Amino acid sequence: MTKLSVNINKVATIRNARGGNAPDLLQVARDCELYGADGITVHPRPDERHIRRADVPALRAVLRTEFNIEGYPSKEFMDLVLKAKPNQVTLVPDKPDQLTSNHGWDTEAEQEFLKDILDDLRGAGIRSSIFIDADCRMAEYAAKAGADRVELYTGPYAEEYARNRENAIKPFIETARRVRQLGIGLNAGHDLSLENLAYFIENIPWVDEVSIGHALICDALYMGLEKTIAAYKKQLRF
């Protein structure tokens, strides 16, 4: 079954708004695991507007499930992850001041740059994933660079879903099939929700992992964290 990794960036955003340690990020992460999450995702950004660099080793010390760290592979980011040694590092092409991830890598143009980064991750025993658009060519060049997995950027799928879900899923099915042919793993994330998640997984059941944060935390405001995680896990079964 597809695994659920809960992105806790938004929890850190709330904490940082007032200073102090409320909500307690480490306790929320532990509770997510207790309630059935298969992993925890964080995306530390240079301005530390949500996850702080200091959060990474603290989380690494307490997590019992999979730890996934997303980010642009700057020197500072690579120093951080190579020291923390999470289970997975997801490389995203975000600019330092970017609000959120909104496109994938051009893995052809950035082939040599990504290859060197992936070599470093492999040498440290860290599984790598490259954030890409639903594009077979980008998947092919990610595999050539040596990525263990790709993560499909699902923002366009979520945007089109309400209008025409069959059209929305088509490029993702095509790319996912190519990824499977290439023999690498498949993740997905961004704007997946209780509304659109089940249909995505029904059509691409070989997705290894979905990373969900914003929608899940929003739902938890009404449903509570335990019931929300159970609801998302239910969407992964069909």
Which DSSP category does 148 fall into? Answer: S
Tokens of 209: 């992992």
Q: How confident is the model at residue 98 (pLDDT cuts 50, 70, 90)?
A: low
Residue 94 pLDDT grade (very low, low, confident, very high; cuts 50, 70, 90):
confident
- Position of tokens 């997995």? 149
**What's the CA gap between 233 and 36, in Å, rounded?**
8
Which residues on adjacent β-strands are paired with residue 132?
152
Task: Catalogue all structural domains in the chain, each as residue range(s) with its CATH number.
Answer: 3-235 (3.20.20.70)
What does the alpha-carbon distance between residue 136 and residue 120 come to, in Å, rounded to a whole number? Answer: 25
Active site residues: 43, 70, 190
Output the pTM of the full model. 0.95
Give the residue carrying structure tokens 């923002």: 155
CB-count exposure of residue 222 (10 Å: 0-12, 13-18, 19+): exposed
pLDDT digits (tens, 9 = 90+) for 112-148: 999 999 999 999 999 999 999 999 999 999 999 999 9
